[in-house]
Structure 1
Amino acid sequence: MNRELPLTPQRVLFASSEIASLNGFSEQAEFITTLTSTLSAMEHDVRLIVPAYSWLLSQTDAVIQTSRIRLPGDNREARILQGQAGQSIPLYLVDIPGQFDRPDNGGPEDAIRFGLFSRIVSLMAINQAGINWQPDLLHCSGWQTALAIPLLGGAWSRPATIYSMHEAKHQYCHTEQINALSIPVELLKSGALEMQGRFSFEKGAILMADQLILPSPGYRQELLNDHTLHPLAPLLKKRADRLTGIPSGIDYQRWSPTTDVHI
């Protein structure tokens, strides 16, 4: 299967736990907001999927429910709500009962709720989320979305995949959390998620994504040269031919040196 993204307009799904316009200005949020806006301006069909945090729902106008999905191995249903990010980008909000009433806090429950979120992302990527739309490319940003990529490993109709890694801190999860997610036995047996008795969504994404992105060329070089900087640095080195460092860009619609009154 040809997984190269041609220059003609494509359908691109971005999965992220953050977006800058509604969630401050973290590096990851800036990256996603700028990249989606740029690709949309180039006439690609760009769509964004994020968790339906309660505060995000209160800030998003004209949200409508587009589908409901029974969570694998769970009696609960997730709702997919649709709004709009910026002026033209469809925004999908994944609402799972009791999971996104609070922001990320780094606790053990984060592995479960973002694992569930990633499962919904993987279903949307193969047009099984009731949206009647399938991307040519899935871009997962950050460990919170990373599980979606290895979950797609056995899907014959999966899109091309990109994983962008943004945090130096590595998130592990444990057996009880993995069990709560009902991850397919074949994926667990493959060892793609296992790390010395613990599990890593990010390891699976790095192993199985078609392309990998780091937020700067300098950080790419640091990780390839010094394996002590990150637990997954040795794995990144093995996939160096698929690993790109992207220089930071500027969104001139939000800031320009020609209009900054302080310059």
Structure 2
Amino acid sequence: MLPCPWAYVHLGKPHHIHARTPSKAAPWSKTGGLGDVIGSLPIALAERGHRVMVVIPRYDDYEDTLDTGVKVELLGHSTIAYFHKRHKGVDFVFVDHPSYKRPAGLYADAKGPYGDNQFRFTLLCLAACEAPLNLPLESAEGGSKTVYGQDITFLANDWHGSLVPVYLAGKYRPHGVYMNARSILAIHNLRHQGVFPPHTFHELGLPDNWYGAVEWQYPPHQRQGSYAEEGRSMNHLKAGITTADRLLTVSPGYSTEITTFLGGWGLEGLLASRASVLSGIVNGIDEDEWNPETDPHLPTNYSAADFKAGKAANKAALQQELGLPVDPDVPLLAFIGRLDFQKGADLVLQVAPWLMSQKVQLVCLGTGTPDLEAGLRWLEATYPQQARGWVGFNVAMSHKMTAAADILLMPSRFEPCGLNQLYAMRYGTVDRAVR
């Protein structure tokens, strides 16, 4: 339920939550913290008695999902199909369309963001709106099949899901649909706003009088390139912020930061005007998945009682697995995250020569921009006895690194909350951030 899309919560007696995420959900698709949240929060809500649906793209032909046989035509020309998997009391619904099958990456390839991303996530938002109306699912294990219906709460996440509250207000309610539904927009990273040329408004399937909801004038200092030179654009996140009933961020501090010039990325004025419905809730972690006592990915499980021995055993195992000298006295540093400017991966590479002179070992795991991926390969090639750069994302390796490392590096230039720090504390690993 979350990151990029929504959750539906029934406002009546039992609560029904339809969570839809346009981007990702662990374990099926994941590139970072958003996928973790989508994979764990809905389950926690279901355990509290809510009926929860998560809607995400079918990025691959997942073998454990079943075709529901339900197809819906959207935008007048695109037919989507729904696949389903009930997992830990949650209805995970996968939207099937050819535009989602991109082996190079979920949002982008080496050349940059996909040119049809607006279409892909517009389709996802509409599919999320249609799912509660058209998709009969079991209300409990072995129960009769019913649709979720209209009295629900949508939880949308980031720009990818921001059109959900807009569609509720501009497309459905004028026809008497979703009159009692409510919408919540969760902002995980304000930097990514879903900005597109204004002439593509007709691709959204909204009435003409709703152009103002998505219209955006760039601040002068942010204008660069083509349509942005005049400051005119469409901004999906701005539209969601304007129309959602409630706004959430992933920490109280970030909810304040985004209303300031330094943290608002041009939307600080709009967010400040909606401060009465803006809240910050600290991210949480899945304590079953991230538990050093039971973690199946670790060579040696451990608890607070034997954490020193457990950490040492996992450190030695990781050093051996990665071909580094096995030395308990050498500080082992780790970086796990997206390779981009915000996460500060370039800062790690800049200080790498100095770090290597301090006789430490450094292990990095992540995927992102081509130049930073090349930087990880350079790091390993230049310091083969001290460094490893793993380009890609590997769940098992992220767990092993968190358990084995003495220090987790968090060089983010800004961080809305940060799940990796929480994982590190859970595993007895010191995290170091920048100021």
Structural mapping, 1:99-178, within 5 Å: 99-102=99-102, 103-105=106-108, 106-125=113-132, 127=133, 129-131=134-136, 132-134=147-149, 136-154=152-170, 155=173, 156-158=176-178, 159-167=181-189, 168-178=191-201
CA distance in 1: counterparts of 2:67 and 2:58, whole angstroms:
12
CA distance in 2: counterparts of 1:217 and 1:243, whole angstroms:
10
The size of the alignment, in residue pairs, is 250
Partner of 1:91: 92
Contact 2:75 2:205 in 1 (8 A): yes
Contact 1:66 1:130 in 2 (8 A): no
CA root-mean-square deviation: 2.3
CA distance in 2: counterparts of 1:124 and 1:107, whole angstroms:
25
What one-letter code is carried by the residue in structure 2 that aligns with 1:43? Answer: G
In the alignment, structure 1 residue 29 sits paired with structure 2 residue 16: no
Q: Alpha-carbon deviations, 1:81-112, whole Å to 9, x = none?
A: 2123x32211111112x310112112331011
Partner of 1:194: 215
Q: Alpha-carbon deviations, 1:48-94, whole Å to 9, x = none?
A: 1011112xx33x514122411112232x311112123x322111111
Structural mapping, 1:11-22, within 5 Å: 11-16=16-21, 17-22=23-28
Structure-2-length-normalised TM-score: 0.53
Equivalent position SS for 1:79: strand
What one-letter code is carried by the residue in structure 2 that aligns with 1:107? Answer: Y
Equivalent position SS for 2:288: coil
Contact 2:10 2:16 in 1 (8 A): no
Q: Alpha-carbon deviations, 1:216-247, whole Å to 9, x = none?
A: 11111111233554122221111111111111
Change (3 A) 1:176 1:99: farther
1:137 CA displacement? 0.9
Partner of 1:65: 68
CA distance in 1: counterparts of 2:89 and 2:156, whole angstroms:
20
1:176 CA displacement? 4.3
Change (3 A) 1:108 1:25: closer
Structure 2 unaligned regions, length at least 5: 1-8, 137-146, 218-231, 295-300, 303-310, 312-427, 429-435
1:25 CA displacement? 5.6
CA distance in 1: counterparts of 2:205 and 2:12, whole angstroms:
38
Structure-1-length-normalised TM-score: 0.85
Contact 1:142 1:163 in 2 (8 A): yes
Identity %: 22
CA distance in 1: counterparts of 2:272 and 2:215, whole angstroms:
18
Higher relative contact order (CA 8 A, sep 6+): 1
Equivalent position SS for 1:99: helix
CA distance in 1: counterparts of 2:285 and 2:34, whole angstroms:
14
Structure 1 unaligned regions, length at least 5: none
Contact 2:155 2:183 in 1 (8 A): yes
What one-letter code is carried by the residue in structure 2 that aligns with 1:163? Answer: L
CA distance in 1: counterparts of 2:197 and 2:83, whole angstroms:
30
What one-letter code is carried by the residue in structure 2 that aligns with 1:95? Answer: D
What one-letter code is carried by the residue in structure 1 that aligns with 2:188? Answer: H
Contact 2:10 2:17 in 1 (8 A): no
What one-letter code is carried by the residue in structure 2 that aligns with 1:169? Answer: H
Equivalent position SS for 1:195: strand
Greater fraction of residues in helix: 2
Contact 1:217 1:244 in 2 (8 A): yes
CA distance in 2: counterparts of 1:208 and 1:9, whole angstroms:
26
Larger Rg: 2
